A and B are shown apart, each in its own frame.
Chain A
Amino acid sequence: MNGYLNKIIPFSSVDGPGNRTAIFLQGCNFDCIYCHNPETINHCINCSFCVKACPVDALTINRENRQIVFNSNCCIECDACTKTCHRNSTPKYKVATADEIIKEIENYRPFIQGITVSGGECTLQAEFLIELFTKAKEIGLTCFIDTNGSTDLSQQEKLMNLCDGVMLDVKVWDKERHKKYIKADNEMVLKNLDYLVDCGKLYEVRTVVVPELFNNEETVTNVAHKIKNSTARYKLIKYRHLGVRENNLNLTTPTDHDMNHLERLAHEVGCFNTIIV
């Protein structure tokens, strides 16, 4: 079966334990105002708008099926295409089978512990993940999921049996703010938080700290309280401007002082496994 792929990063130090190949899938059901890789949100509709923007002719149109053809050999990674795209997509996405991905991973295999699938939102392609994980396990790799928590993981028994750990984003605790800035409800996210703590598969919770938008203290305290008795780590991520779409909010990066304060709050409720990045 096919997966819709944004890109593969052969070696990643920030996507779970040890060195992992990170596989980013295309397509997301959230629309975070501060999204750091907005080009992963939607599937490409082949409107060909971006083709003209490419300065090196890495993009062409297949005359027969009107699909965009991306030639990675000439791409200079200037990002002009993704900046031009009005749909938060990329012409550089790939359609690949699990076997094709495994074949690529074979190159990196001596050096990695496993793979982590991320997005976009990877659980939207759960069937594909099941196939990919089954094959990855056969060659001795551990399999991690990085998710926004929008799909009910407790109903994904097959996937969860294959999955060794989950990184869950909890963006904001407050429902209304979640709706406003993430463009979705967070009920399922919090349900998944409980479920993952209970089943012992929660590897890490991630919160991007955005001072202007959220009550970060509330989020951190609540999450810390939930995970304090699990083995999960709490990663507090500074909002950074890099890659974010233009908006009029003028969001600022939190100071070290802000971050240390939040970390202390987590410690106060008994969650000591924290990290600031």
Chain B
Amino acid sequence: MTGVEQIVKDKTLTFEQKVVALARYAENSVEVLNISEDTQALREAGIICDLFEGNVPYRPRYILPNYEKFMKEGCKFLQLDPPTNIWEATNYLLIFYKHVPSITTMPVYIGNIDYLLEPFIEDEEEAKLAIRLFFTQLDRTITDSFCHANLGPKATRAAKIILEVERELENAIPNLTLKYNEETPDDLAIEAIKTALATAKPSFANHNMFTEDLGEYGIASCYNGLHAGGGAHTLVRMRLSKLAETATSIDDFFNHKLPHAMTCMADYINERIRYIVEESTFFETNFLVTEGFISKDRFTSMFGLVGLAECVNTLLKAEKLEDKFGHSQIADDLGVRIMETMEAFIHQFESKHCKVTNERLLLHAQVGIGDDINTSPGARIPIGEEPELWKHLKQTARFHKYFPSGTGDIFPFELNAVNNPEFILNIIQGAFKEGMRYFSLYSSDADVIRITGYLVKRSEIAKLDQGIATLQDTVVLGQGQVRNGKVYERKVR
């Protein structure tokens, strides 16, 4: 059977998923990028990985359109005037989303949705109905959990309605983030926590930290902080856990293996950017650019990493829990040393099309993919080895500052926390004080759970386990993580 036929005959893929898989197959049948032999060797060794972006970059990976502009001015290409009421607002946004590219074909950022809808809320009952239909349509047609909406930091009626509706719907899509700072009133944060216990979202973003690092930003995809009106051309990641296995000693790792891999990966990222910006015509022709919803100058690219914990443990040959990352001062300090080294590299490496970040790449704690074995997301402590919560939070906070384009940790709580949502709010407030950037929670009893960054329903994974096609393409990723990443075994707080 050819690859094409394999896709066509796959019983677990929906029609839509087959079309995307076929397009990807076609894209991957040619080689257009200049990739050095060394880089290729690292790619084949699984140390550098572009996360299925495809061989011919023809659209940025993450696009964060300026939806405020759309709401104010409408869109010529889509022949839409500015909306005048809640029905037009929700309808026009849905039309617009359909035309926002990404590597999955579905939008990864759908705006600060509460602020976008607030001006159109007159009658709250009517608004709730419109918002309920809007979110239902999103869940059923944007069949990919990397689609992300933002709320806050200030309270709006819209945010309250959205949180209520999401609590009732219990959908996996879209992903949601509440931008949180001292401007966010407690009652909104409490509503958000209640919704998160029911349906694993929203997560909380440390708004002050992101604003300081990026200025005007949005949270896209899993938890990626990027510039609003821009985005990221590409995300390539380094699997530190595998890289450590190639090092003969800690010195070898710092003096040879790490610098070599970083240079190869950064060159590779630049090559992918070059193709999108200089060859693909995206930035000349796409209506998002020509009408100013995004600007080439607000794009950057992401230098990702996974498996810091396993990397440290391998370098230290740590086998007992008390010697491992997350438990030993020596291990954590080595983790910090690796991050400092990587940050120093990023700060001196030029990437000319990343204007918005002074021609530099941004570090990103990548969440991992389904077939990563023994590789924890970003700088997280491995599942099954979580220390007590207060220690966990303090340890984690040490690493969040290195990742302006996103990192995060996930904490399942017992359902009875619903009786005291302030309990969780205090923990989040403390975590942000300590320097955490992004905090996700869910209830150990809910159907919707957070896999690594995105959301999937346990019931949908169970369906897929039985070989039945599921609506969302991310269910299969969740299934892989459940098998290899022990997602169901996270320590419940």
Contacts and interface: CB of A to CB of B under 8 A. Distances in A.
Contact of A13 (B390, B417, B429, B433): B417
B426 A277 contact: no
Contacts of A112: 426, 430
A97 interface: no
A111 B431 contact: yes
Give the most central of A19, A112, A113: most B CB within 10 Å.
A19
Interface string A7-23: 00011111001110000
A11 B429 CA distance: 14
Interface centre among B393, B419, B426, B493 (most CB of A within 10 A): B426
A237 to B, nearest CB: 12
Given A18-B426, A111-B430, A112-B430, A10 B390 contact: yes
Contact of A110 (B423, B430, B493): B430
Contacts of A108: 390
Interface string A204-248: 000000000000000000000000000000000000000000000
Nearest to B397: A110
Contact of B416 (A14, A19, A110, A111): A14
Interface in B416-436: 416-417, 419-420, 422-427, 429-431, 433-434
Interface string A86-128: 0000000000000000000001101111000000000000000
A11 B434 CA distance: 16
Contacts of A277: 416, 419
A111 B434 CA distance: 9
Interface residues of B, number: 20
Contacts of A275: 419
Contacts of B389: 10-11
A113 B426 contact: yes
B388 interface: yes
Contacts of A11: 389-390, 423, 427, 493
A175 to B, nearest CB: 32
A14 B390 CA distance: 17
A107 to B, nearest CB: 6
Contacts of A13: 416-417, 419-420, 423-424
A19 B419 contact: no
B36 to A, nearest CB: 47
B423 A10 contact: no
Contacts of B393: 111
B24 to A, nearest CB: 45
Contacts of B431: 110-111
A99 to B, nearest CB: 20
B427 A111 contact: yes
A10 B426 CA distance: 13
Interface in A230-277: 275, 277
A115 to B, nearest CB: 13
Name which of B390, B423, B431, B493 has the most chain A CB atoms within 10 A of its CB: B423
Interface in B385-401: 388-390, 393
A12 to B, nearest CB: 8
Contacts of A14: 416, 419-420
A18 B390 contact: no
A180 to B, nearest CB: 31
Interface in A8-62: 10-14, 17-19
A134 to B, nearest CB: 23
A19 B426 contact: yes
Interface in B357-403: 388-390, 393
Contact of B390 (A17, A111, A113): A111
Interface string B482-493: 000000000001
Given A10-B388, A110-B430, A112-B430, A18 B416 contact: no
B419 A111 contact: no
Contacts of B429: 110-111
B189 to A, nearest CB: 12
B422 A17 contact: yes
Interface of B: 388-390, 393, 416-417, 419-420, 422-427, 429-431, 433-434, 493
14 contacts: A10-B388, A10-B390, A11-B390, A11-B493, A12-B423, A13-B417, A18-B422, A18-B423, A19-B423, A19-B426, A110-B430, A110-B431, A110-B434, A111-B390
Given A13-B424, A19-B422, 4 more contacts: A10-B390, A18-B426, A19-B430, A111-B393
Question: Shortest 10 CB-CB distances between A and B: which pairs?
Answer: A111-B430, A19-B426, A110-B430, A13-B423, A18-B422, A18-B426, A19-B423, A13-B420, A110-B433, A108-B390
